[in-house]
């Protein structure tokens, strides 16, 4: 048995070098949320003030969890199921839970990459298709839905999603999204076809390219008018907002989900390391780079958002200037953007009645800067509108969507690894089936499952999966992970494991976090999250051209059957944790009871047999 185990360790795949491993972990941790979620939270939660709860959550929650996963995977050299089974057979459900969450997240995450591909393909058109409204069917004017909203909104909701007015109206499969979805899964499969050997090559591009694009965007944005206004708006702190407990909750959840812990992917990646490797340094490097990327992306994004806000502010004032010029019969160029405020004050003193009759728009730069958006709203609507206003818009659109695809693809590597490794741990597939075939089957199943997201109601389902699959289940899994290591494996044993790998034992800070601080923070975040969600019936924004306040989105409550699916998505991934524990406990009880029956101390059968044998041997 010892030789078999050694041979298995020797046959285990390894990274070609340390850089591949770090780039893969960074690529898995740094994802789309760093681009479209963190800047949004900074914007709505007091700018620079949000960094305080964010950094506290990073130090006391994010880094300890990240360090623990990298360390336990490297020491035991197994996937998520194998790791927890080796600590205790009753903990095997943690690995199954991680596998289910990874699969569910992967199917909707790759759908977002399909949307990115659709926009990328259209970025080569001149002019960009979301820059102007299409003509109507009668060729007598522009499309009414587009005119009522904006070209960017129309291209997203109608040309891309062909969205239905509510989640209960499914609509049909959109063939263009099906093709893009198939293409996205083909790219994932090609990059994953040889496991970490092919992933290790791909991450040199997928992980580093987004930083190049962000830098190019930042340099270009800083040369545009209004970029400094965007940066000032981002970093001006509002200290009063720190009194709001929702800020601390969102900071804790953001850092937790941003690091991609509890998916099982980080455990799998670290298991390909050499046993003697400084995993503490790796955890700090990955965690710090992830948070620094969020901040760096915010600077680039808000520099461009400042430019967009300034353009909107100037357009608003130009419309007012046109109205003033026509009404008061001024010569052109008499009122300019530079002297607009002076003219407005003068006319307000001399002709207040005439000025009031014009119903001029209220133009305030702060109002335009306050127009917040996150997620798909930022990527596919707000940012695409900003790109239109930049010279050479096609080039910037291509760069932006290639960057998004690279970010999402590198995150998909860890997500798929979090599915494939547990399948190997469970020995669900015979060894004679090549790993390439197993990967192809998983990608095919994921693609067929994800077809629900290409329906007319697909965007609503993406929001359901995004909001609930990647929230409560991950918090529960992480809580069981950290308590399993701290109290199941034991802090003394785990400290010796780290000493064996790094040459030094963990400091009192790490031990305090693993044993007390991090579990308590996870428990508090979980309770607070569930309490907030339970206060109101979940609702969603719908796009309905017949809505009286259109183009505003219409808030609808989820129907009861969708609410039941939401509960199922929260419970299904983690139900394996108590089920496996209970199953192992029952099996253990049965074995013990059968063992007692075989070795009954009150039974003298063996003594009687021995006595009879002795009597028969005597002459």
399 marked among binding-site residues: no
State the DSSP H helix or E strand holding residue 165, giving kind and residue range, or none if neither.
none
298 marked among binding-site residues: no
> For residues 546 and 145, what is the distance between their CA atoms, to the nearest angstrom?
9
Contacts of 607 (CB under 8 A, 6+ apart): none
> For residues 617 and 279, what is the distance between their CA atoms, to the nearest angstrom?
67
> For residues 181 and 187, what is the distance between their CA atoms, to the nearest angstrom?
10
> For residues 584 and 578, what is the distance between their CA atoms, to the nearest angstrom?
10
Spatial contact of 27 and 21, defined as CB atoms under 8 Å apart:
no
**DSSP label of 244:** -
Residue 610 CA, distance from chain mean position = 69
27 marked among binding-site residues: yes
Task: Please report, for residues 10, 29, 32, 39, 45, the alpha-carbon distance to residue 50 in angstroms, rounded to integers and kept in the order given.
Answer: 47, 20, 19, 10, 6
Spatial contact of 514 and 66, defined as CB atoms under 8 Å apart:
no
Contacts of 425 (CB under 8 A, 6+ apart): 78, 79, 80, 81, 82, 85, 95
315 marked among binding-site residues: no
Angle at 573 between CA 416 and CA 112, to 5 degrees: 45
367 C-beta neighbours (distance < 10 Å), count = 13
47 marked among binding-site residues: no
| Tokens of residue 602, six digits | 């009150």
258 marked among binding-site residues: yes
Spatial contact of 310 and 228, defined as CB atoms under 8 Å apart:
no
Helices and strands in the chain, H and E counts: 32, 2
Torsion angle of the four alpha carbons 250, 251, 253, 259, in this order, in degrees rounded to the nearest 10: 150
30 marked among binding-site residues: yes
> For residues 585 and 141, what is the distance between their CA atoms, to the nearest angstrom?
71
Contacts of 504 (CB under 8 A, 6+ apart): 498
**DSSP label of 379:** I
Residues of each annotated binding site: 27, 29-30, 34, 258, 290, 407, 411
Residues of each annotated binding site for Na(+): 27, 29-30, 34, 258, 290, 407, 411
């Amino acid at each position: 048995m010892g030789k078999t185990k050694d041979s298995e360790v020797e046959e285990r795949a390894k990274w070609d070098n340390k850089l591949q491993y770090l780039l893969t972990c960074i690529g898995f941790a740094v994802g789309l949320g760093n681009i479209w979620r963190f800047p949004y939270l900074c914007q709505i939660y007091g700018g620079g003030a949000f960094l305080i709860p964010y950094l506290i959550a990073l130090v006391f929650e994010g880094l300890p969890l990240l360090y623990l996963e990298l360390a336990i995977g490297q020491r035991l050299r197994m996937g998520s199921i194998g790791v927890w089974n080796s600590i205790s057979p009753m903990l095997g459900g943690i690995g199954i839970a991680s596998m289910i969450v990874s699969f569910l997240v992967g199917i909707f995450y790759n759908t977002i990459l399909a949307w990115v591909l659709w926009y990328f393909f259209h970025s080569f058109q001149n002019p960009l298709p979301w820059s102007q409204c299409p003509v109507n069917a009668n060729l007598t004017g522009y499309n009414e839905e587009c005119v009522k909203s904006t070209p960017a909104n129309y291209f997203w909701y109608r040309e891309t999603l062909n969205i239905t007015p509510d989640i209960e109206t499914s609509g049909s499969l959109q063939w263009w999204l099906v093709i893009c979805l198939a293409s996205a899964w083909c790219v994932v499969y090609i990059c994953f076809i040889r496991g970490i050997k092919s992933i290790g090559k791909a991450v040199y591009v997928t992980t580093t390219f987004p930083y190049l694009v962000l830098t190019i965007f930042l340099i270009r944005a800083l040369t545009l008018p209004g970029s400094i206004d965007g940066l000032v708006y981002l970093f001006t702190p509002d200290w009063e907002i720190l009194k709001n407990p929702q800020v601390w909750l969102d900071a804790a959840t953001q850092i937790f989900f941003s690091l991609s812990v509890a998916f099982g992917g980080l455990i799998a990646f670290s298991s390909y390391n050499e046993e003697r490797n400084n995993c503490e340094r790796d955890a700090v490097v990955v965690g710090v780079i992830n948070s620094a990327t969020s901040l760096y992306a915010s600077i680039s994004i808000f520099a461009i958002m400042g430019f967009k806000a300034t353009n909107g502010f100037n357009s608003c004032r130009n419309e007012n200037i046109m109205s003033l010029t026509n009404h008061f019969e001024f010569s052109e160029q008499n009122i300019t953007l530079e002297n607009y405020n002076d003219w407005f004050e003068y006319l307000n003193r001399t002709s207040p009645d005439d000025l009031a009759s014009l119903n001029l728009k209220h133009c305030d730069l702060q109002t335009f800067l306050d127009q917040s958006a996150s997620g798909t709203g930022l990527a596919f609507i707000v940012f695409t509108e900003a790109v239109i206003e930049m010279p050479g818009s096609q080039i910037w659109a291509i760069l932006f969507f290639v960057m998004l695809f690279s970010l999402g693809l590198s995150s998909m590597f860890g997500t798929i690894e979090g599915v494939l490794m547990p399948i190997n741990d469970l020995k669900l597939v015979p060894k004679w089936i090549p790993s390439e075939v197993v990967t192809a089957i998983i990608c095919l199943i994921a693609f067929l499952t994800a077809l629900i997201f290409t329906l007319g109601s697909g965007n609503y389902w993406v929001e359901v999966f995004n909001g609930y699959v990647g929230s409560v289940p991950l918090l529960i899994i992480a809580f069981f992970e950290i308590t399993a290591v701290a109290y199941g494996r034991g802090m003394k044993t785990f400290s010796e494991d780290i000493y064996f790998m790094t040459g030094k034992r963990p400091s009192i800070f790490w031990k305090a976090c693993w044993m007390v601080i991090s579990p308590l923070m996870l428990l508090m975040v979980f309770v607070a999250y569930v309490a907030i969600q339970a206060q109101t019936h979940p609702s969603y924004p719908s796009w309905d051209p017949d809505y009286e306040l259109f183009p505003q989105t219409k808030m609808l409550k989820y129907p009861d059957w969708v609410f039941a699916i939401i509960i199922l998505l929260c419970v299904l991934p983690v139900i394996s944790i108590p089920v496996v524990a209970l199953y192992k406990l029952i099996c253990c009880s049965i074995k013990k009871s059968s063992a007692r029956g075989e070795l009954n101390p009150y039974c003298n059968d063996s003594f009687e047999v021995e006595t009879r044998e002795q009597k028969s041997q005597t002459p």
